[in-house]
Amino acid sequence: MKKLLKATLFLSLVAVGASPVFAQQPSTAAWDSVGRILGTAPTSAAGYIRYNLPRRDLTVRIGDVTVVPALALGAWAGFSGEPNDATMMGDLVLTAAELGPVLAELAHQHIGVSAIHNHVVGEEPEIIYVHILGQGNALDLATRLDRALTKTGTPRPVAAAPPVPLTIDTAVVFTALGRHGTARGNVAQVGFVLVSGTVTIGGRTMTPALAYGSPVNVQMVSPSRAVATGDFAVRDSSVAGVVDALTAHGITATAVHSHMIGDSPHLNYIHFWADGPLPDVLRGLRAAIDAGH
C-alpha cells in the first residue's frame, strides 16, 4: 500500500508541471540537444516540441493489412515549458517482450507511467502502448528516457524517410474531416482537440495537443480500400455518442480508457479501427468527430 501511495503521489507531482503553451522557443539549441540525446530531430507541434520515434523495425499486420509506422506505430516524446523546467509526455510502442525491461528501466529512471494498454485489436505481433510523463530539466529527462529506449528495438538515430510518391487523396481526406493535416505516401494524418475549455492536473493547465490531442490516421490499402485508426479524447458525457457514431458507420471501437492520472475534467480516449471504402471510412470518422465536440 505504501508503494502504491508513493507511486500515485509521484505521478501527481510530475504531471502538475505542464505548461499551457509554447508561445516561443527561446532555447533552440537546448531542444536540438534533446534531439541528439534521443536520436531524432525536434519538430514544432501545437504548443510543444515533439520527437518522433517510429517503430520502423516492426512488421505488424492486422488481418491482411500491413500497418505502416505512421498509421499506428509512431512512438514519440513531447516537451512543453522551458528547457530547464519542462514537462515530458509521450507514448512508447512496445512488443510484449520489451514491456517488462522497459517498465523496469522507467522505474529506475524515475519516469512516470500513466497508462499501459492496447490501441488496436488483433494485430500480430501484439503491440503494447506505454504512456509516460516526467518533469524537470529537459536534457536530464531525455537522458533518462534514452536509457529506457535502449531496452527496445526502436531504430535510432531516426533516419530521414526516403521520398515516396503521395498515393492518398489528401483533398478528399482533409475536406471530409474538416481539417488540414499532413501526408506522406499512402498515409494522411489529421489532429484535433475535441475538448473545449481547460484541462488541469493538480490545478495546473495542460497543453492541449500534448496531453489530449485526438489524432486520426488514414492509410490507403488499395485504390478502393482504406483503413484508419487513432483516438478521440473526450469528456465522459461524449463517450456514448462517439462510440455509437463509430458503430453506426461500421467502425470498431477497440479501446476506451484513460491516458492521464488525476485530470480534471476526467478524459476518456476512444481508439478505433476502420476498414472499408475511403468515403465510408471518412463519413464515419467525421460523425465521430462531430459527436465528440
Same domain, 127 and 210: no
Question: Would 233 be classed as within a structural domain?
Answer: yes
Model confidence, pTM:
0.89
Kindly report, residue by residue over 115-144, the tens digit of the pLDDT: 999 999 999 999 999 999 999 999 999 999
Question: Would 38 be classed as within a structural domain?
Answer: yes
Segments forming the whole domain that contains residue 23:
2-149
Same domain, 144 and 187: no
* R_g (Cα) of the chain, nearest Å: 18
Element (H, E) at 204: strand 204-205
Kindly report, residue by residue over 156-173, the tens digit of the pLDDT: 999 988 899 999 999 999
Kindly report, residue by residue over 51-110, the tens digit of the pLDDT: 999 999 999 999 999 999 999 999 999 999 999 999 999 999 999 999 999 999 999 999
Domain count, the chain: 2
Nearest Cα neighbor of 213 from 229, 231, 186 is 231
Same domain, 200 and 133: no
Question: Would 26 be classed as within a structural domain?
Answer: yes
Same domain, 102 and 187: no
Question: Would 157 be classed as within a structural domain?
Answer: no
Same domain, 68 and 28: yes
The CATH number of the domain holding residue 214 is 3.30.70
Question: Would 242 be classed as within a structural domain?
Answer: yes
Cell readout for 196 is: 473545449
Q: Quote the distance between the C-alpha of residue 104 and its chain's center.
A: 22
pLDDT attached to residue 4: 37
Same domain, 85 and 116: yes
Question: Would 162 be classed as within a structural domain?
Answer: no
Question: Would 188 be classed as within a structural domain?
Answer: yes
If DSSP codes are grouped into helix, strand and coil, which group holds residue 218? strand
Same domain, 33 and 126: yes
